[in-house]
Structure 1
Amino acid sequence: MADDPPALVLRPLPEVVEELGSSATGLDDDQARARLSTYGPNELVTRAGPSLLASVGRQLTHPLALLLWVAAGLALATSAEVLGVAILAVIALNAGLAVLQERHAEHAVAALSAYLPPHAVVVRAGRPSTVEARTIVPGDVVVVEEGDAVCADARILQGAVEVDLSAVTGESVPVVRAAGSATELHRRVVDAPDVLLSGTTCTSGDCRAVVVATGMSTELGRIASLSGRTTQEPSPLELQVRRVAWLIAAVAVGVGIAFLPLGVMSGLSLADAAVFAIGLLVANVPEGLLPTITLALAAGVADLARQGGLVKRLSAVETLGSTDVICTDKTGTLTQNRMTLHSTWDASARRSPEPAVRSAMAHVLHACTSADLAAGTGDPTELALLETAARLVDSPLPTERRRATYHFDPRLRLMSVVVVDAHGVERILTKGAPEAVLARSTSAMAPDGTTSTLGPADRERLATRLEELAGRGLRLIACSWREVPVAATVPDRAELEHDLDLIGFVALTDPLRDAVPDAVAQAHAAGITVHVITGDSGGTAAAIATSAGIGGSDRPHVVPGPDLEDLDDEHLDDLLSGEAELVFARSSPEDKLRIAARLQAAGHVVAMTGDGVNDAPALRQADIGVAMGRAGTDVAREAATMVLTDDDFATIIRAVEAGRRVYDDVRKFIVYIFAHAVPEIVPFLVFALSGGAVPLGLTVVQILLIDLGTETLPALALGREAAEPGLMDRPPRPRSERIISRAMLVRAWAVLGLTSAALVLGGYLDVLMSAGWRPGDPTGPGSALHDDYLRATTMTFAGIVACQVGTALAARTERVSLLAIGPLTNRFLLLGIAFEIAVTAVAIYLPAAQEVFGTRPLHGSELALLGCFPVVVWLVDEGYRWARRARWARTGEVAG
């Protein structure tokens, strides 16, 4: 074949058949075998994800890990083997947690294969035969009947079918595809009226079609290719943590380079200078930061799961909080994805028909169907019509003998049955598309049940009313009937489906979810823009969007798929940059992908919802891909970052709120963790600046115990803080906003850190000097002051832990006073504080732990002094925040 499949499938059918070297009798077996070797099997190609080794390698070269590698190397080089091994264990722990976090299955392309049937019926050498679907080749003629899954892209040669395209295009109702219907050329495969697409399902009718594309050349394969090319970008939090890691690395290395020569010049030996350098590195690296963030995000994931949102990537929780644009599907997300009765209209276009009309309408809907309401089998629309029939009348409908059934014909857009009642009266009952039924009706039922002629004025009035109802997103079904003469044989349907008596119309709708309008209002209050991207028609989508509150009080601007294709990137950017919320109708997978990419290029954080195969590329491209758990396809669920178990748009807004809370809580425990770097560094600086005259007040092993043991649970508890008031009234933070601000560093280092350092250093020197120590006195092993020196370092260690308690209480709020929310309201934090006190007690009073950590029991007076540290730290920070609130009130600044 000279042309590529998309170009070929859109050419005039005779040219397509000639180009394929095919005919109505299909290929012979030799031709099929030859083409199979040329084009390959009719399968979708899967793409392998990153290997476990690559994931581990990426974590071991994280900036924080690199810094710890340096510290471990220095420790081993200076014969501090225990310290080196401990640091290596920290590296392994952080890497292991990170790899477990990101190793979730990515099977989007593999899941697409489930949409290809295992077998299909083809015409080979004029004879129908069943073959493996993977052996089908371009030029084959396939036979498609009701219930069949389409196995390749094809052009219909004869017949007509109604096809469910929802999995591939997002179209919510089946569409008609028929031979000879392509009266004009179309630019897009999904718009061609005689094209069958691989992965769709025939809901009624039968046809024969010539295959034009197989495997990865089909529309389904193209979607798989888009999914394979789309990569998952790092989340805002992942980017921020990386920047924070480089900041920490720069500070640690800078401090080490600056103070190492100073230590040597102050009279330290090379070994002491090396210990000093290691201490600065370890003290500057918050070893617990990555595991604490991981555990906090995991807690957020668990909270969201209880609310109906399953998150597959931990960092996605925070990304949700920074979302400022939601691109939502319509069917099943904004709506309930089930057809229900909206209203009934008589033949005069009056709502709420009289009893005679209602009874006749129920009669037609009850008898003219192929569905079974009791068994729940049949097309969803048919089942909805049967439910409507039961609601229209109070008494049971009569049981009649069905004499003939004319199944729904996609070309005629009608279904009819011939029934005989208990009195021997024979009638044809017909239902179908309003324009099709109206064209075959010559009379109309009056409100009292009598019949009147259907004149031109009546037809014009009905056409206007029907157009108005369709514009409101309603699906309309017309009902009609007439008595027919009793015949010995069942006549052709064309002999019966004419001169009908129009009864009225049933309007069905996929109703809006109850929680959606409030959720959209919440999104608007939070500064989030909501666009609708759907495969449905513009009128239907705009009607649903308007009822949901999307686009404000006016009907939202509708951008059809072909119009979107005509827009270059510059004009699309202008359209998306406006304040108006938009409805993109008849959208293709490329359209959704392009919209997400252009929004991201403009700096937006995009959440994209979807449920069909066609949504997979855009779900992977978006910052947050949100799939439907109930009505969604496996492909969409695999490609998405979050799955809604309740398929409810409102759950997305709850997830955004949870994400914002998690982001705030991450900032709180970053303040908490960073505050302890200062009291951990100060003992080393005093040691270096004094030239060793003041002994080292803290050991590296004790620092590791603080960073990995005592501070982790309180930090995690800060990740469970309730949201501060007004959380969803703030605008979304920009993608460029840094998680660590200058104000946070001032609070962590200058307020909490320096206060803690002053208290800890004071406690250390008080213990030493109370024992009779003076600067320069020996405190090493074998000296008279050695036990007192160990008790003093224990005081430093315990003092830092005591200051941690005060810092944890202070860090609970950023804007309001702790007294406003209650000091005891976070029970997780209280348990965390109890845990760190218990760990500290074990490290100080358990003999075995004393040998490991170099500690000694403290006296009662020293414990009493430690009890004051948390209160002092909290009071200093409370005063600082009070001053900030006063300044914000005076200047009108926003807290940050």
Structure 2
Amino acid sequence: MTEPATSPQGLPFDPEERIDLLLGHLGTRREGLGEREAARRLEQYGRNEIRRREGRGWLRELARQFTHPLALLLWAAAALAAGGGMGALAVAIVAVIVLNALFAFAQELQAERATEALREFLPPLARVRRDGEVAEVPASSLVPGDLLLLSEGDRISADARLISGSVEVDMSPLTGESQPVGRSSARVRPASSPLEAEDLVFSGTLVTAGEAEAVVYATGMSTQLGRIAALTQRVRGEVSPLQVQVNRAARLIALVAVVAGVAFLAFGTLVARLPLADALVFAISLLVANVPEGLLPTITLALAVGVRRMARRRALLKRLTAVETLGSTDVICTDKTGTLTEGRMVVSRFWAGGEELVPEDGREKEVGEPFSALLRTAVRCSNARIERSAEGWERRGDPSESALLAAAAALGEDVERAQEERSERRRRLYHFDARLKRMTTADEEPDGALWYHSKGAPLELLGRCARVRTPEGERPLSAADREAVREAFERYAGSGLRVLGFAEKRAGGMQPEEERDLAEEGLTFLGLAALEDPPRPEVADAVARCHRAGIRIIVVTGDHGLTAGAVARRVGIVRGEPRIVTGAMVDGMKQAELDALLREERELIVARSNPETKLHIVDALRGEGHTVAMTGDGVNDAPALRRADIGVAMGGSGTEVAREAATMVLTDDSFSSIVAAVEEGRVVYDNIRKFVTYIFAHTTPEVVPFLIYALSGGAVPLPLTVMQILAIDLGTETLPALALGREPAEPGIMERPPRPRGRGILDRPMLVRAWLWLGLVEAALVTGGFFYVLLSAGWSPGEAVGPGSPLHASYLAATTMTFAGITACQIGTAFATRTSRASLRQIGVFSNRLLLWGILFEVLFAAAVIYLPPLQRIFGTGALGVRELLVLAAFPLVVWATDELRRAFVRRRAGWPEGPA
């Protein structure tokens, strides 16, 4: 005896084998399982539920915030400070670490609920046949072998094989395909994959029409839905580019700080002959000066501001670092339905007798034959409903049927009255049959006559017709008429439209036929309806902006290739004839073939995609160095949304599964919101570089005083204390840095190509500008200010300035001059770093009012540190006189002017215009 075939889902049988064999393998019969057998199988197979694998706990996530590379560097600084007897400094540094970790944790905290959301896709109850009787049981208690009864409006509870009847099923949660698909127990042809099998239905999908009976062959994690859940759990999020760059910056800063500290510790003890205790204080001070304590909180707060700003543009981000990642996006893989399109069907046009009729909402028209008969049939042969509301028509039921009702209402049909009379006048419903591809109703008309109204696939319906209705009246259907219908159908279908045909006939008596075949023969053909999911009006402009910004768009959809191609052409994603491949073709490619396809085909559409297809595409693009945004709204999209750099889910039409798996949720489901978010991401990236430059520029003037102290062998006292450094890093520079994070977009930000994935926030030109240009100018000014105060008091090198000495008050004033000098230089640096090339005149002095408020706070904070006695004792400061304040007033102008000259030189060399931007 041969072993049964194994299915793609790992089942020990093939769910598409002969039905008698399948029933035998499942140990069931057409009367269904017995209650005791169902209970036994429930113990054997477990409950029909999606199980969740536990993710990382919140304690681990919180601990991660305390072990960030920059945080580790600060821990080292705190330990050294505590070991060196500087308890207050150690406490201050630990406070910085704790506050930043708690803030970042609060912003990043996000429960792993994607699998929990999958559970919501299973209905609470299911109708089954057990022991020959129909019963309603909890869906979680379904077992393989149960006979499942399906009808319109049911959400399917398990994977099953139809054994009788036919249904239309909304497969979009699993495949992304917008149109319901037919499923029938009478399989016509073999399928290339289970999802395309004509006689299989799947857990989580919705029956939109028809009735059928099916045998359950898979439950829980063995279903297609469970397979996606398992795949989603296996896919782990990647470290964002910003996290990589911050880690790289932390390593660079750590290297500089440690090397500098060790080098000058050795230099201070061996060359400058400093006491070991003084040399250790110096090394700790140098380490603290090199570590920008305010960098992490500033980046975190700036990203949070970016998140709030994006929310106003209808894009909700669930991870802070995703803001910056968006700015580097160079490929967007977008679905069609609901993203590029409105996600609802509308009738584009009716066709009858060689003429077209285009519906116009809100305007009634007088329509003659055969259009009036066509509209009447569209209203009669329907199970959907529409209701008038302030916003238009609210639709319920099958999307295509409700679209036909709305179009008929716009053209003068009394749809609301017809809906009220439907149950009273309908004598028989021949459900949609996926094999026959048509649906028919038998309705009693007001004159008492019984009429059959049919709709379905145009060519199949045409084959059941003997006559045709034209503007001149009804006549026999000729070969020329058939060819005209065929040409119209192919023209509309080739444009990506869904085409339905309509027919009617008067019954021979007052009772509908028992045999469907008799009711649907000798029909009179009425015409066609071409339906579409129209593109969103704002998408074309957003696509054009993407092209100008150098962002590539790939359509990856569950829809048919022709439909996707037509929409892509209408919104400008493709200009010529795109390369259209199917998900099965992609899944069958070798890695090198897929890489070549994605590299060489700039205009690409992937149709009939599945979860693995999207994962393969994301992995291949990221492997080529691209930063990928992937859109999705269905359950099947969850794994790819997790794997992409930016997973984009639809907030309105999307499933909760997709929203939980994604990084960004669009509240309006529009592609244009993705483009707006990319622009915001680029602005955030630019602004992070601006305030990082601003923060790093102050490292040099903080380090130089300690070098002077070491190189002089202690003859020159420390020009700056460690507590004053913390007052700068966490006090005076924080608000202006945050304000730089609110700079508006620079002109042409969406005209430049995306930056390479590997390009970091820190690069050589920025470090040269921060440390060697702005930093040296600031260092020269503040060092000069320190010596100006000390020398004016009569100090000479080596003279004592400690507590109790005559010059101690002057020394406090001199260190205060260094602190105040760095603060003053910060003002000039803030204006200089607002742009990398443009002049201040081009962007406007007052265009960032938050920066002006930040500078005001900076001045007031510095004044409090300098003049309030309690703060003087904490930070070791002394009051400054009028002469010192006048000298300080020149510092911002000098810093800004020197960088303005540098930028003017850069503009002239690059040929940039000098006029307003």
- Describe the SS at the equivalent of 1:486: coil
- Alignment partner of 1:142 out of 141, 148, 152: 148
- Provide the residue aligned with 1:792 in structure 2: 814
State the 1:195 CA deviation: 0.5
- Provide the residue aligned with 2:227 in structure 1: 222
CA distance in 2 between counterparts of 1:591 and 1:23 reads 37
CA distance in 1 between counterparts of 2:821 and 2:101 reads 31
> Do 1:163 and 1:200's aligned partners in 2 also have CA atoms closer than 8 Å?
yes
State the one-letter code of the partner of 1:356: E
- Provide the residue aligned with 1:632 in structure 2: 654
- Provide the residue aligned with 1:310 in structure 2: 316
Change (3 A) 1:682 1:403: closer
Change (3 A) 1:30 1:424: closer
CA distance in 1 between counterparts of 2:396 and 2:430 reads 16
- Alignment partner of 1:476 out of 485, 494, 499: 499
> Do 2:306 and 2:684's aligned partners in 1 also have CA atoms closer than 8 Å?
yes
CA distance in 2 between counterparts of 1:394 and 1:593 reads 47
State the 1:397 CA deviation: 9.7
State the one-letter code of the partner of 1:685: L
Number of residue pairs aligned between Structure 1 and Structure 2: 888
State the 1:888 CA deviation: 2.1
- Provide the residue aligned with 2:361 in structure 1: none
CA distance in 1 between counterparts of 2:179 and 2:598 reads 28
State the one-letter code of the partner of 1:477: L
- Alignment partner of 1:385 out of 380, 404, 409: 404
State the 1:315 CA deviation: 0.7
Cα RMSD after superposing both structures: 1.9
CA distance in 2 between counterparts of 1:53 and 1:619 reads 25
Change (3 A) 1:821 1:756: same
> Do 2:349 and 2:356's aligned partners in 1 also have CA atoms closer than 8 Å?
no
State the 1:781 CA deviation: 0.3
State the 1:212 CA deviation: 1.4
- Describe the SS at the equivalent of 1:356: coil
Change (3 A) 1:584 1:129: same
> Do 1:406 and 1:416's aligned partners in 2 also have CA atoms closer than 8 Å?
yes
State the 1:738 CA deviation: 1.8
CA distance in 2 between counterparts of 1:212 and 1:427 reads 41
- Provide the residue aligned with 1:608 in structure 2: 630
> Do 1:779 and 1:789's aligned partners in 2 also have CA atoms closer than 8 Å?
yes
- Alignment partner of 1:373 out of 377, 380, 386: 386
- Describe how 1:500-519 pairs up with structure 2 within 5 A: 500-519=523-542
State the one-letter code of the partner of 2:302: A
> Do 1:182 and 1:194's aligned partners in 2 also have CA atoms closer than 8 Å?
no
State the 1:775 CA deviation: 0.4
- Describe how 1:74-473 pairs up with structure 2 within 5 A: 74-181=80-187, 183-184=189-190, 186-265=191-270, 266-348=272-354, 355-374=368-387, 376-393=395-412, 402-411=425-434, 412-448=436-472, 450-473=473-496
State the one-letter code of the partner of 1:389: A
> Structure 1 length as normaliser, TM-score?
0.96
State the 1:168 CA deviation: 1.3
> Do 1:123 and 1:140's aligned partners in 2 also have CA atoms closer than 8 Å?
yes
CA offsets per residue over residues 388-447 of structure 1, 9 Å max, x none?
A: 112233889996772513143223333333334444443222222212321211111112
Say whether residues 1:864 and 2:883 are aligned partners: no
- Alignment partner of 1:496 out of 519, 527, 539: 519
CA distance in 1 between counterparts of 2:78 and 2:515 reads 89
- Describe how 1:416-815 pairs up with structure 2 within 5 A: 416-448=440-472, 450-487=473-510, 491-551=514-574, 553-815=575-837
CA offsets per residue over residues 326-345 of structure 1, 9 Å max, x none?
A: 00000000000111120110
> Do 1:626 and 1:641's aligned partners in 2 also have CA atoms closer than 8 Å?
yes
CA offsets per residue over residues 862-883 of structure 1, 9 Å max, x none?
A: 0010000000000111111112
Moved more, 232-241 or 461-470: 461-470
- Describe the SS at the equivalent of 2:647: strand
CA offsets per residue over residues 324-375 of structure 1, 9 Å max, x none?
A: 0000000000000111120110043656697222222222223332233227
State the 1:599 CA deviation: 0.7
CA distance in 2 between counterparts of 1:61 and 1:374 reads 58
Change (3 A) 1:489 1:610: closer
Which ranges in structure 2 are unaligned for 5 or more consecutive residues?
A: 359-365, 389-394
Change (3 A) 1:490 1:439: closer
CA distance in 1 between counterparts of 2:308 and 2:356 reads 52
- Provide the residue aligned with 2:895 in structure 1: 873
State the 1:584 CA deviation: 0.7
> Do 1:608 and 1:626's aligned partners in 2 also have CA atoms closer than 8 Å?
yes
> Do 1:65 and 1:91's aligned partners in 2 also have CA atoms closer than 8 Å?
yes
- Describe the SS at the equivalent of 1:120: strand
> Do 1:427 and 1:484's aligned partners in 2 also have CA atoms closer than 8 Å?
yes
> Do 1:363 and 1:397's aligned partners in 2 also have CA atoms closer than 8 Å?
no
> Do 1:440 and 1:498's aligned partners in 2 also have CA atoms closer than 8 Å?
yes
> Do 2:427 and 2:512's aligned partners in 1 also have CA atoms closer than 8 Å?
no
CA distance in 2 between counterparts of 1:421 and 1:28 reads 47
Moved more, 877-886 or 769-778: 877-886
- Provide the residue aligned with 1:849 in structure 2: 871
> Do 1:359 and 1:392's aligned partners in 2 also have CA atoms closer than 8 Å?
no
CA distance in 2 between counterparts of 1:6 and 1:77 reads 62
Aligned residues with identical type, % of pairs: 52
CA distance in 2 between counterparts of 1:30 and 1:648 reads 51
> Do 1:794 and 1:855's aligned partners in 2 also have CA atoms closer than 8 Å?
yes
CA distance in 2 between counterparts of 1:127 and 1:419 reads 32
- Describe the SS at the equivalent of 2:123: coil
> Structure 2 length as normaliser, TM-score?
0.94
State the one-letter code of the partner of 1:193: E
- Describe the SS at the equivalent of 1:374: strand
> Do 2:427 and 2:444's aligned partners in 1 also have CA atoms closer than 8 Å?
no
- Describe the SS at the equivalent of 2:797: coil
CA distance in 1 between counterparts of 2:357 and 2:134 reads 51
State the one-letter code of the partner of 2:759: E
- Describe how 1:879-894 pairs up with structure 2 within 5 A: 879-889=901-911
- Describe the SS at the equivalent of 1:814: coil
CA distance in 2 between counterparts of 1:63 and 1:210 reads 56
Moved more, 867-876 or 478-487: 478-487
CA distance in 2 between counterparts of 1:565 and 1:616 reads 18
- Describe the SS at the equivalent of 2:397: coil
> Do 2:129 and 2:147's aligned partners in 1 also have CA atoms closer than 8 Å?
yes
State the 1:491 CA deviation: 4.8
CA offsets per residue over residues 68-95 of structure 1, 9 Å max, x none?
A: 1121111111211111111111111222
> Do 1:309 and 1:651's aligned partners in 2 also have CA atoms closer than 8 Å?
yes
CA distance in 2 between counterparts of 1:694 and 1:88 reads 30
State the 1:508 CA deviation: 1.2
CA offsets per residue over residues 528-575 of structure 1, 9 Å max, x none?
A: 110111111111111111111112x21321101222222111101100
Moved more, 571-580 or 137-146: 137-146
